[in-house]
Structure 1
Amino acid sequence: MALFLQQILNGLTLGGVYSLVALGLTLVYGILHVPNFAHGAFYMAGAYVSYYLMTTLGVNYWLAMVGAALVVAALSMLADRLVFHPLRNSPELHDMIAAIGILLFLEAGAQALWGADFHRMPTPYGQIVDIFGLTAPLQRLLIIGAAFALMVLLHLFLTRTMTGATIMAMAQNRDGAALVGIDATRVTLLVFAISGALAAIAATLYAPINLVYPSMGNLVITKAFVIIILGGMGSIPGAIVGGLIIGMAESFGGFYVSTDYKDIIAFVLLVVILSIRPQGLFAGKAA
């Protein structure tokens, strides 16, 4: 029983991280309808900014997380202004190629600044906690708590505030939102900022129990695409539920089958679910 509960804990940890990354990705897709392959590079950049702030400048873990969120939010908005906005009237293929270009550029930049070696981010939460006989690293509990708190805050922001309502209006009908006076440029920049901040926070939460390296975002963004397809393209509930499904599947599959196949499980699950429900689990639901 203890091993089963341990896998649930591991699944919630992975699912929380995946859901945060997928949420940022699905928000941008809802506005631009362009798969942002550069999102994985923003995730990686967030980890490196936090690592630099903590190890070089001696900044507190939480302040480093806030700093990384602000830096990557600004970087994400800059990518929109310099790359995506000029291509707004171009075929979608051009946006996809440009996003891959941003990904390669940021990975090369990280490698030039910090090298290709793996780095370990320190954490002040390395303690082991005993909960009802289940031992769990405090950092994992922190990931679960922070990830789900952010999901709730994002949901409340999108559904209970005027700014959130404008974002949802843009996601549903960009042209119609512009006709009623919504500033498309301002909303787009805000969405990119939220997307980048979510990626940076997810990376800062997960990096202390993983490693920091230039290509760390590649597998994460691939799984994030699986999640948003699984949950329904542009669906926020789908991104959350899809992330948890993939996290649980990887945790239990890696333990009961083999860790060698852990990263394949997400794609097998995608094929199985889409063969039953091709539109995704939450197709058509934006919030």
Structure 2
Amino acid sequence: MQQVLNGLTLGGIYGLVALGLTLVYGILHVPNFAHGAFYMVGAFVAFHAMNAWGLGYWLAMLVAAGVVAAMAVVSERLVFTPLRNASGIHPMVAAIGVLLFLEAAAQALWGADFQRMQTPYTSIIDLGGVTAPAQRLLIIAAAFALMVALHLFLTRTVVGSTIIAMAQNRDGASIVGIDAQRVAMLTFAISGVLAAVAATLYAPINLVYPAMGHLVITKAFVIIILGGMGSIPGAIVGGLIIGFAESFGAYYISTDYKDIIAFVLLVVILSMRPEGLFAKRGR
């Protein structure tokens, strides 16, 4: 049960990051490597807001979400929109450029040292013999509540339906009157909010440093490939699969190999179902 708790914690964080990544993939149809940098910037902004400005944890999270959402929208307008009709490799290289630029900027502003973010939720709760730090319970509750809210937004609102329509067929959505530019900006903003919230939730039990987005975004790519590129349910389930696999793998095998488990699962699952778990089979 202790490993179930750890798996839900990791799965919640990975799922949030993968959701933002798969939403952007539905619009760009290219891997957005800059998403890892948005995750990192979200953690640094929240850390700075708490330490330099004296803001509370939740207010710092809101500030980080707003800053990263604005940054994601700016990157969409200045970097990705001009490359809309370019071949797939050009937006990919541009995304890597944004990633490297933001990492260098973070290192210049906050330094290369590892930082520890404080949290007001430091208590330990005993759940029938399971040691449950309050921050981990907060991560599980907040992450899955946000996933449910996003699902309801996409399926129950007109604006959410336009995002799904754009992901399915950008040209067709434009023909029926959907403003493609506005939807693209909104999608990037949502992805930035998800990345910033995930980073602020996870930073108190991890460390904050300029390269912190590398491993997270790599695993997020594994998740959306496992779940099916562009599949929102696949991103959630894939995040849980990787979270539980890492948690139980670290416990029963070794913590030295827990980061490799995600890629072993990728090979195993794709060898049996190359299109991913939730992708629709072609006819």
The two structures have a TM-score, normalised by structure 1, of: 0.97
Query: Structure 1 residue 131: deviation in Å?
Result: 1.4
Distance 1:284 1:82 in 2: 33
Distance 1:254 1:141 in 2: 20
Q: Within the alignment, does 1:246 sit opposite 2:242 as a pair?
A: yes
Distance 1:125 1:55 in 2: 16
Q: Within the alignment, does 1:176 sit opposite 2:176 as a pair?
A: no
Aligned to 2:220: 224
The answer for unaligned runs of 5 or more in structure 1 is none
- Given candidates 240, 246, 258, the residue that maps to 1:262 is 258
Q: Within the alignment, does 1:74 sit opposite 2:70 as a pair?
A: yes
Distance 2:9 2:45 in 1: 22
Distance 1:74 1:238 in 2: 27
Query: Structure 1 residue 32: deviation in Å?
Result: 1.2
Q: Equivalent residue of 1:135, what SS?
A: strand
% identical aligned pairs: 77
- Given candidates 175, 179, 191, the residue that maps to 1:195 is 191
Distance 1:98 1:32 in 2: 12
Distance 1:277 1:100 in 2: 29
The answer for unaligned runs of 5 or more in structure 2 is none
How many residue pairs end up in the alignment?
Answer: 281
The two structures have a TM-score, normalised by structure 2, of: 0.98
Q: Within the alignment, does 1:14 sit opposite 2:10 as a pair?
A: yes
Q: What letter is aligned with 2:33?
A: F
Aligned to 1:161: 157
Q: What letter is aligned with 1:75?
A: M
Distance 2:111 2:161 in 1: 43
Aligned to 1:207: 203
Which of structure 1's runs of 4+ aligned residues deviate more than 6 A?
none
Q: Equivalent residue of 2:42, what SS?
A: helix
Q: Equivalent residue of 2:188, what SS?
A: helix
Aligned to 2:29: 33
Q: Within the alignment, does 1:83 sit opposite 2:79 as a pair?
A: yes
Aligned to 1:106: 102
Distance 2:99 2:197 in 1: 18
Q: Equivalent residue of 2:207, what SS?
A: coil
Q: Equivalent residue of 2:32, what SS?
A: coil
Aligned to 1:140: 136
Distance 2:5 2:52 in 1: 32
Distance 1:180 1:12 in 2: 41
Q: Equivalent residue of 2:23, what SS?
A: helix
Q: Equivalent residue of 2:279, what SS?
A: coil
